[in-house]
Structure 1
Amino acid sequence: MRPAEKREHFRRRRPYGITASRGCELMSLPCSTFYDAAPVAASPDDVVTRMRAICDEFECYGYRRLGAALRHQGIVVNGKRLRRLMREHDLQPKRRRRPIFKNLTKGLVVARPNRHTGGLDDAPGLIIAPERLAA
């Protein structure tokens, strides 16, 4: 008999007066197995439906965060299976793009530090040498 079958048998037929720990000891079953919730067997279609709902709400979630969200809902899915289902159903996360900033100080000659002259378009914190201002 598998541990899950033993657990269900003991839950259904536990006589009055026998504690859970004593019953587990008699059936040679760890107490953690008795108190552990049985995993939910979900069909692949149900898993994909839930994955789509999560990916619609959080479009940057990868397979690890998606797996954590599914576990939070009570569905345990293997990471390899998650990656395969995401690839097959085109649920790949959007890549986060970092902004590219212009280098405002490129080619500038600094006369002295921690001074600013010029408008807001110039690099803050710099004094631009007079020969650069004439250009």
Structure 2
Amino acid sequence: MLVSPELKITVARQCELLSVERSGLYYKPVPKVDDTVMMNRIYDIWYKSPCFGYRRVTKVLRREGMRVNRKKVKRLMDLMGLKAIFPGPKTLLKGEHHKIYDYALRHLKCNTQ
């Protein structure tokens, strides 16, 4: 109740008189959680195994008993600038024992009808 109960005014009427929404009357804000402990633990896991991405870091945290979502771990890793180290594609590397052949059909003209 916004005013004393002796007045016998409904909650909807009280909110209307005070220009307050009823949903805002019952709203209790959720306090922000401090993520520094989780961020420190994520950094420790990543430092020991830099090839771990956010999914494997999430699995390690869950094994340790933390209730954590993979999206939160990804957001925190992005915030800290941590990325998994993994080998990239090796499609453009020339090997010592591979000969480079000329494209034999380069000068051929095809007439399609």
- TM-score, normalised by the number of residues in structure 2: 0.51
Aligned to 2:10: none
Aligned to 1:106: 99
State the distance in 1 between where 2:97 and 2:44 align: 44
Aligned to 1:80: 71
How many pairs does the alignment contain? 67
State the distance in 2 between where 1:107 and 1:85 align: 46
Following superposition, which runs of at least 4 residues in structure 1 exceed 6 angstroms of deviation?
Answer: none
Matches within 5 A, 1:3-18: none
Aligned to 1:95: 86
CA contact (8 A) 1:67 1:82 kept: yes
Structure 1 residues 107 and 54, CA, compared in 2 at 3 Å: closer, same or farther?
Answer: closer
Which ranges in structure 1 are unaligned for 5 or more consecutive residues?
1-41, 109-135
User: Any idea what the Cα deviations from partners look like across 1:100-121, whole Å, max 9, x if unmatched?
Assistant: 460624258xxxxxxxxxxxxx
Please state which structure has a larger fraction of its residues in strand.
Answer: 1
Higher relative contact order (CA 8 A, sep 6+): 2
Structure 1 residues 76 and 105, CA, compared in 2 at 3 Å: closer, same or farther?
Answer: same
- TM-score, normalised by the number of residues in structure 1: 0.43
Amino acid in structure 1 at the alignment position of 2:66:
I
User: Any idea what the Cα deviations from partners look like across 1:74-131, whole Å, max 9, x if unmatched?
Assistant: 11211111111000011111232466460624258xxxxxxxxxxxxxxxxxxxxxxx
State the distance in 2 between where 1:56 and 1:62 align: 11
Matches within 5 A, 1:66-77: 66-77=57-68
Which ranges in structure 2 are unaligned for 5 or more consecutive residues?
1-32, 102-113
Structure 1 residues 91 and 107, CA, compared in 2 at 3 Å: closer, same or farther?
Answer: closer
State the distance in 2 between where 1:80 and 1:107 align: 46
CA contact (8 A) 1:67 1:76 kept: no
